[in-house]
């Protein structure tokens, strides 16, 4: 996948994370999990963009590694929201699938860098 295409997918992922977080209940758990999800989910693309401007291969791999860690964390919080049935309407399963795919792409990018 080309860098621009992945950057666009990560931007879309960020926007969808923000939209999902705004639908969470206004409970202590909802606010906490929503905050964790937004922090992790919005930083994946930001770290990827930093990696694209890396000063060396080692810097590139390091920054991609951070993006991957944040992607995994976002995926975790999505799974918590789904399993705890925190949304009153349907859970967007496509978002969890997208997190899986993005984590796989980032992981493979690290291996082939």
pLDDT digit string, tens, across residues 35-72: 999 999 999 999 999 999 999 999 999 999 999 999 99
The pLDDT > 90 percentage for the chain reads 93
Q: How confident is the model at residue 1 (pLDDT cuts 50, 70, 90)?
A: low
**Residue 38, number of CB atoms within 10 A of its CB:** 19
**CA–CA separation, 73 and 5 (whole Å):** 22
Summary mean pLDDT of the chain = 96
- C-alpha distances out from residue 1 to 26, 59, 76, 93, 108, Å: 38, 20, 24, 23, 11
pLDDT at 88 over 90: no
List domains and CATH numbers for the chain. 3-112 (1.20.1440.60)
Quote the pLDDT of residue 89.
80
């Amino acid at each position: 996948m080309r860098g621009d295409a992945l950057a666009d997918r990560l931007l879309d992922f960020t926007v969808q994370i923000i939209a999902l977080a705004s639908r969470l209940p206004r409970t202590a758990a909802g606010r906490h999990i929503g905050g964790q999800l937004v922090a992790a989910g919005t930083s994946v693309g930001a770290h990827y963009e930093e990696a694209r401007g890396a000063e060396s291969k080692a810097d590139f791999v390091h920054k991609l590694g951070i993006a991957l860690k944040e992607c995994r964390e976002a995926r975790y919080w999505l799974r918590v929201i789904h399993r705890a049935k925190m949304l009153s309407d349907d859970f967007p399963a496509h978002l969890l699938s997208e997190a899986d795919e993005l984590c796989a792409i980032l992981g493979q990018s690290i291996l082939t860098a």
